[in-house]
Amino acid sequence: MTQHSDGGGKPLQFVKVISWSLFAIILGFSLLLSVFISKYAERTLLDKQEKFALLLAENVSHQVFTRFVMPTVMRYGGISLRQEEQFRTLDQVVRSTVHSFHVTSLRIYDPQGIITYSLDKDEVGRKGDALFMVTRTWETARFSPEILARVSKFASLFRVSLKPGSLTLRAYYPLRAERSLTDISENPIMGIMEFTQDITPDFMAMLNFERLVIAFSLLTSVVLFFLVLAVLRRAERLSNEQLREKEQLIFELQQQEKLAGMGRMVAGVAHEIRNPLGIICSSAELMLKKAAKEQSPHTRILEALHEEAKRLTRTVGEFLDYARPRKPALAAVDAGRLLDQVAVFMEPECEKLGVVIDREYSGDLTVRGDKDLLYRAFYNLIANALQAMPGGGHVYLRAARDEGGLHITIQDTGPGFVPEHIEQVRDPFFTTRDAGTGLGLALVSTILESHGAQMDLSNADDGGARVDIIFPAV
């Protein structure tokens, strides 16, 4: 008893280890993914704000030059912001340009770091606190942004809202003349602009997104935890279910062996009745010919007898071919010639039904295969197409070679495959016709598989059934 209990406990312990290990891996992966997404969102936001600030700075520079510098120089011959009218004009240009862009401060410095203009008029004439950045921007002539945070990123996650100005972007930009007023080839720098933009609202939107990601990760981990607990509690029951499934599988295998035995028995019976049936068919044919010459009143009965004997002969042949598939004798076979032979053989039936066979071949159609078996496969497919068009129609035979091998298409203009049955038509004994055995396509599939070919069944876009056969490249 103890040995049996230990044997059953080991799989359960293994399930526990796997479950907890999987839980730890997914939890760690979720947290890492949350951190990665948060960092990516933060970097994306800051990059967007820096690009937006650059566009704003360029626009301010353009507006100052076109709406203030040029008109002022043309009117006064020079610029002097100490004159109230010039200062007021510049102030109007700047304020109208930065309006609604959350700009909290804007200053313009001269080369010595003196503030020549500011949104706060009291700062004009003073020496600014950003002499180092002003000097560097004047030397490099490049846009220089920086992010200023008054609250830590971690603390922000636990706050419902942030005060305005909690996160700002401060940038320095050289104001250039767009076209030189002198003979200097490069546009000269008129001054260095420093502006501060409040990006707290966008930062809050990013924080809300990060909170959502973290909450989703935690929720996923909690759900996974309870799923793991459920798996642990059901581990023993699952073990019993697996035992029952194993017993069911053994039962199904036994049933399959019984069916295989019945198939062998049916094949044996079919083999035994094939020869007597052949004699009956031949005798009925002779009697029919004799009755036709003598114009016997029994001619119609003999015709029915002969037709039924032939039908039974074909049915027995299909049973034997499917139950005892013949190994193909591989040789070089012209698939186009086989299709032509089937089409010629079918001409009387086509004329009777009003069906036209359209053939189109291109390239070398030689394949390695068994001529008789391939003929049987093509015959069954074309015969199925004719049976689907009792009122007439077209059968299209297409064959061409490409990189994948030889591609043969057989298509008709009948009703096509029933979508619900298209996956079952290959199964043996499945048929939608009262007089069918359900072995036609099953036999075709067996023959093509023995040749390494692939058969795909579908409905054509313009209606009708379509069969695509692809023989592998030699």
Tell me the per-residue pLDDT of 360-371, one tens digit each, with 9 for 90 and over: 999 889 999 989
Q: Which of 49, 165, 174, 166 is nearest to 105 (CA)?
A: 165
The pLDDT value given to residue 432: 66
Residues 6+ apart with CB under 8 A from 354: 391, 392, 393
Q: Which of 134, 147, 132 has its CA nearest to residue 174?
A: 134
Q: With cut-offs at 50, 70 and 90, classify the pLDDT of residue 79.
A: confident
Summarised one tens digit per residue, pLDDT across range 38-74 is 778 778 888 888 898 899 888 988 888 888 888 888 8
Q: How confident is the model at residue 6 (pLDDT cuts 50, 70, 90)?
A: very low
- Report the CATH number at residue 208: 3.30.450.20
CATH code where residue 397 lies: 3.30.565.10
Residues 30-45: tens digit of each pLDDT: 778 877 887 787 788 8
**Are residues 333 and 201 part of one domain?**
no
Q: Is residue 164 part of a domain?
A: yes
pLDDT tens readout for residues 90-139: 889 989 988 888 888 898 988 888 888 988 888 888 887 778 888 888 88
pLDDT cut 90: percent of the chain above it: 11
Regarding whether 166 and 18 lie in a shared domain, the answer is yes
Give yes or no for residue 421 having a pLDDT over 70. yes
Domain boundary among the residues 200, 215, 230 is at: 215
**Is 308 inside any structural domain?**
no
What phi and psi values does residue 205 have, to the nearest 5 degrees? -65, -40
Among 215, 234, 269, the domain-final residue is 215
Domain count within the chain:
2
Question: Is residue 229 a part of any domain in this protein?
Answer: no
Is 7 inside a domain boundary?
no
- pLDDT average, residue stretch 325-350: 87
Classify 130 as helix, strand or coil: coil
Compute the average pLDDT of residues 288-312. 75
**Rounded CA separation 19/4 (Å):** 24
Strands 465-472 and 189-198: unpaired
In a domain, 284, yes or no: no
Residues in CB range of 121: below 8 A, 6 or more apart? 91
d(Cα 45, Cα 37) in Å, to the nearest integer? Answer: 12
- Categorize the per-residue pLDDT at 273 as very low, low, confident or very high, splitting at 50, 70 and 90: confident
Q: Give the model's confidence band at 474: pLDDT under 50 very low, under 70 low, under 90 confident, else very high.
A: low
**Residues 202, 332 within the same domain:** no
In a domain, 136, yes or no: yes
Beta carbons within 10 angstroms of residue 469's beta carbon: 23
Report whether pLDDT(199) > 90: no
Q: Which residues pair with 399 in a beta bridge?
A: 361, 408
- Residue 82 sits in which domain range? 12-178+187-215
Report yes or no on 236 lying in a domain.
no
pLDDT at 1: 39
For residue 464, the 8-state DSSP code is: S
- Note the pLDDT of residue 404: 81
Once rounded to an integer, what is the mean pLDDT over residues 292-306? 76
Q: Are residues 209 and 346 in the same domain?
A: no
